Amino acid sequence: MLDPQRPHRIVVVGGGAGGLELATRLGDRLGRRGRAEVTLIDCARTHIWKPLLYEVAAGSLNSHADQLEYLAQAHWHHFRYRLGRMDGLDRARQLVHVAPTLDDAGIEIVPRRSFPYDTLVIAIGSQANDFGVPGVGEHCLMLDTPDEAREFHDRLINACLRTHTQHEPVAVGQLTVGIVGAGATGVELAAELHGTTRELSAYGLEKIDPDTHVKLVIVEAADRILSGLPPRLSAAVAKRLDELGVDVHLNERVVAVHPEGFTTASGKFIPSSMMVWSAGIKAPDFLANLDGLETNRINQLVVRPTLQCSRDDNIFAFGDCAACPMPGKTQNVPPRAQAAHQQASMLVKSLQQRLAGRPLPEYIYRDYGSLVALGRYSTVGNLMGGLTGGSLMIEGALARLVYWSLHKMHQVALNGLFKTVLGTLANIINSPNKPTIKLH
């Protein structure tokens, strides 16, 4: 029951693309007028658009320059930001439990806390799924966070510097990057690394010949790359990867990871000196035992079309951590950025309706197509649905422009049009003073 004597308490857990957009817009519409107290909880202090993490890993994007400070965003848009990682829930008392935050030395920065809510929105995204394959945690990096992307970039730079300064010849496989999973992350990372390694050579590491010393490998269990996307898009991307010299192994399921490479179910050993795991996703494990909420086999919270959890009308979930049904189909809404953006937009209206005691709208997924970036100057995709009235394959400069505009739309949702335009112009003006890749 809503209490008219105090502002409605809305807690959003997760400051990814969808969660931060939701908190920002709710703050502007409800927090600013005192109609609700909007609180965003996230374990990080800054936000970066997750689809760009492959560029951070490759060094073509400086994450520190592109990140957004949660504290500043909260101040500008009339919501509260609280640092911490959710690790429990008390539905009866309507409390979100947040673990203590420690520094690198293990010293407590922020103690364990609990936050009361009237409406809780869980938008904590997803993480890579290792499917229990032995050796993944010890030998592979995942690109779920900016820290992991930066760690991979550091390893890449260090490996190139080590190779450049050694006296002995470059060994076979010394600069081999092995990527498990041919979804968008794996494919885009491989293509971006193709350009990065050539830039490194141009910046003075001339002892490294990208064509002979650097090898990029993708290992995929399915019979084609980008298996979740239309076959013609998959074929176009496969052709481009072949032109870039990326070695793709299809129908090869990795069953073990070793310090020197991968073993597949067919018995093949694929050598690699730097390994990335991007084969499938799951929601964070703690959701599977979250005070009786219903979850599926990959820990996603089961929600109704209103995005309310199946067992609690006061709790909403959306984005990659939610299993939302598609009307008339057996599958759920795919875990894609456009779905999270659409759901965040609907929830802004839904929570205003909830405060007014009106019925909530139901979410219907609208597929506007798919885009895959293959290096700085090549993008492949298809536009569909309301954008074209059908399905239109696009490539090259037009596809790259559409891909770039998706990031700008996210920035506009967070910062407004004026700030986004100014920031874009500033980056363009300052670009001649920066290297095209991050060199440290």
Residues listed for the chain: 440
What token pair was written down for 209? 């010949």
24 membership: H or E segment, kind and range: helix 17-26
Report the alpha-carbon angle 40-43-49, nearest 5. 80
Report the alpha-carbon angle 40-280-272, nearest 5. 115
Residue ranges of the chain assigned to CATH 3.50.50.60: 8-126+283-355
Cα–Cα distance for residue pair 237/245, rounded to 1 Å:
12
By three-state DSSP, how is residue 381 classified?
strand
Q: Would you state the pLDDT for residue 397?
A: 65
Cα–Cα distance for residue pair 18/20, rounded to 1 Å:
6
Residue ranges of the chain assigned to CATH 3.50.50.100: 136-280
Q: Which CATH architecture has domain 8-126+283-355?
A: 3-Layer(bba) Sandwich (3.50)
Largest CA distance in the chain: 76
pLDDT by residue, tens only, the chain of 440 residues: 456 667 999 999 999 989 999 999 999 999 999 999 999 999 999 999 888 898 899 887 776 667 899 999 999 999 999 999 999 999 999 999 999 999 989 999 999 999 999 999 999 999 999 999 999 999 999 999 999 999 999 999 888 888 888 888 877 778 999 999 999 899 999 988 988 888 777 667 777 787 888 899 999 999 999 888 888 888 888 999 998 999 999 999 999 999 999 999 999 999 999 999 999 899 999 999 899 999 999 999 999 999 999 999 999 999 999 999 988 788 899 988 889 999 999 999 999 999 999 999 999 998 877 777 777 656 776 665 544 445 666 666 666 777 667 777 777 888 888 787 887 777 667 655 454 555 44
Q: What stretches of 108-260 adopt beta strand conformation (E)?
A: 108-110, 113-116, 119-122, 127-128, 175-180, 214-219, 247-249, 254-258
The owner of tokens 């509260």 is 80
Cα–Cα distance for residue pair 56/58, rounded to 1 Å:
5
Closest CA to 60 of 258, 192, 156, 188: 192
Q: Could you please report the per-residue DSSP string of 61-122?
A: S-HHHH-EEHHHHHHHHT-EEEE-EEEEEETTTTEEEEE-EE-TTS-EEE--EEEE-SEEEE
What token pair was written down for 152? 């991979």
9 close to 2: Cβ distance less than 8 angstroms: no
What token pair was written down for 259? 């310090």
The CATH code that applies to domain 136-280 is: 3.50.50.100
Cα–Cα distance for residue pair 84/140, rounded to 1 Å:
26
SS (H, E, C) 335-396: CCHHHHHHHHHHHHHHHHHHHCCCCCCCCCCCCCEEEEECCCCCEEEEEEHHHCCCEEEEEH
- Residues 6 or more apart whose CB falls under 8 angstroms from that of 242 comprise 248
Q: Would you state the pLDDT for residue 213?
A: 85
Report the alpha-carbon angle 118-410-364, nearest 5. 60
CA 289 and chain centroid, separation: 24
Distance linking the first and last C-alpha atoms of the chain: 54
The beta-carbon contacts of 228-231 under 8 Å, at least 24 apart in sequence, are 228/183, 228/334, 229/370, 229/372, 230/370, 230/382, 230/391
What token pair was written down for 429? 């003006």
Name the region of 309 (left: φ>0; alpha: ψ -120 to 50; beta: rest). Answer: beta
381 close to 399: Cβ distance less than 8 angstroms: yes
323 membership: H or E segment, kind and range: strand 322-323
